[in-house]
Amino acid sequence: MQLTKKLQYYIVKVESGDGVDLYKDKYIIVEIIPTTSKKETGFIAQISALKLEGIKLLDRFDYRVKEEDIDNIDIKNMISYDKEVFTYVKKEESILDLFQKFSENLPLLLLNDTYTLDYLQDLENQKEIIFPYLHLENQENVFDTIKEKYLLEPSNHLVDLLYEAIILEKNRSEKE
């Protein structure tokens, strides 16, 4: 698989020690689900995020736009799980504004280097792709890859899988 220039940049940053220290620093793992892949034609329908200090979970952010404000049936179906876990807001209320307050300008570890960066470009937070930290490449079947690599049970929340993977990576590094 050919690595994008952005992903190559993040790998060099992580390997050089210039990235986030996953075992000491405060940071946030973020997953967004937009209505389209382009910010100009869509909006963020869901943000799930975990605020961590090292491997300690400090807080969780699970927000969605109300279903009646989403026209795209595929997106409605995609985010129809775990409804009781999420806080719902009207489209006019910006999930991004709420997330910005939650994020406290902490570094953001992202799952995607294309649409996610586009939608979050107005946030001043440091943004990095999480996959180099887990020695993975960004790929379409990332859920399956993470579950297989770390022998994890399925989850509806990719941020939870990534959190478990970080804990397991820490345990592996301590054994070496």
Given a cut of 90, is residue 133 above it in pLDDT? no
pLDDT of residue 51: 98
Given a cut of 90, is residue 173 above it in pLDDT? no
Q: What does the DSSP assignment read for 75-89?
A: HHHHT-S-GGGSEEE
Q: Is the pTM of this model over 0.85?
A: yes
Average pLDDT of the residues in 124-148: 84
pLDDT tens digits for 151-171? 999 888 889 999 999 999 888
User: Which domains, and CATH codes, for the chain?
Assistant: 5-170 (3.30.420.10)
